[in-house]
Amino acid sequence: MKLLYFAWLRARVGCAEEEFALPPEVCKVADLLDWLRSRGGGHAEALRDLRVVRVAVNQDYVGLEHPVREGDEVALFPPVTGG
Amino acid sequence: MIRVQREDFDVGAELTRLAAGNHQVGGIASFIGLVRDMGGSDRICALTLEHYPGMTERKLAEIEAEANRRWPLAASLVIHRYGRLEPGDRIVLVAAASPHREAALAACHFLIDWLKTKAPFWKAEETAAGERWVEARAEDDTSAESWKISS
């Protein structure tokens, strides 16, 4: 799967994009966030407060219960501030 | 029409083009967002707009389609810039053309309110103290939410 990070999440994680095989214990967005946090370092720091993290799967906003599958494009970013 | 671009745009030319050849248009409402500098200790030297290529265009198209579903529009336009901008620079142009002013004004207001809370753009401000990511405002969510009940 492909993970994308934007804005301060990108800065804290330390990269804009990473690809990896979906871990077997990850079935939904909440599992993915738990797994990423368990990697520690920048990931744990960036995902410390989930109230300021938005998630998109395949370019649509989703909630924590949304399923995650191999081949998905998952993006993590803060609340948007355009306009 | 949706455009996401680094370069500036000519407001007059864009608005002229929006109604060109369409004599059903009775009015065009537009909103232009600029980079502002509030001065004082929060002085901004520049702003960098980041976005999520692909999802940005997709969300803007959805927002535009929703505006066209709610109001009888003859044409609509959203241009949003990204990259480094300085105080006074144009960021966004939203315009709605309709036979009647009520629909044009309401649709324009709706487009910018929804864009602000749904389109994946982020602003980083360059200040004397360094780079600072702009935080989302709760008032923007309230404004966007208000369209769910009033229309």
Q: In what order do the strands lie in the sheet with B27-34?
A: B2-5, B75-81, B90-98, B27-34
Q: Which residues on chain A are in Cβ contact (under 8 Å) with B92?
A: 82-83
Residue B34 forms contact with A (CB below 8 Å):
no
pLDDT per position as a tens digit, B21-80: 999 999 999 999 999 987 776 788 899 999 999 999 999 999 999 999 999 999 999 999
Residue B43 forms contact with A (CB below 8 Å):
no
One-letter amino acid for residue A52 of the chain: V
- In this prediction the pTM is 0.93
The whole-chain average pLDDT of chain B stands at 94
- ipTM reported for the complex, 2 dp: 0.94
Q: Where are the alpha helices (DSSP H) in B1-151?
A: 11-19, 55-70, 101-118, 138-150
Among A54-58, B43-47, B79-83, B99-103, the least confident range: B43-47
Band (B151; pLDDT cuts 50, 70, 90): very low
> 């629909």: which residue's tokens?
B103
Band (B133; pLDDT cuts 50, 70, 90): very high
Band (B150; pLDDT cuts 50, 70, 90): low
Smallest CA–CA distance, residue B16 to chain A, in Å, is 22
Closest Cα in chain B to A75? B52
Query: What angle, 0 to 180 degrees and rounded to 10, lies between the N-to-C axes of helices B101-118 and B138-150?
Result: 140
Residue B110 forms contact with A (CB below 8 Å):
no
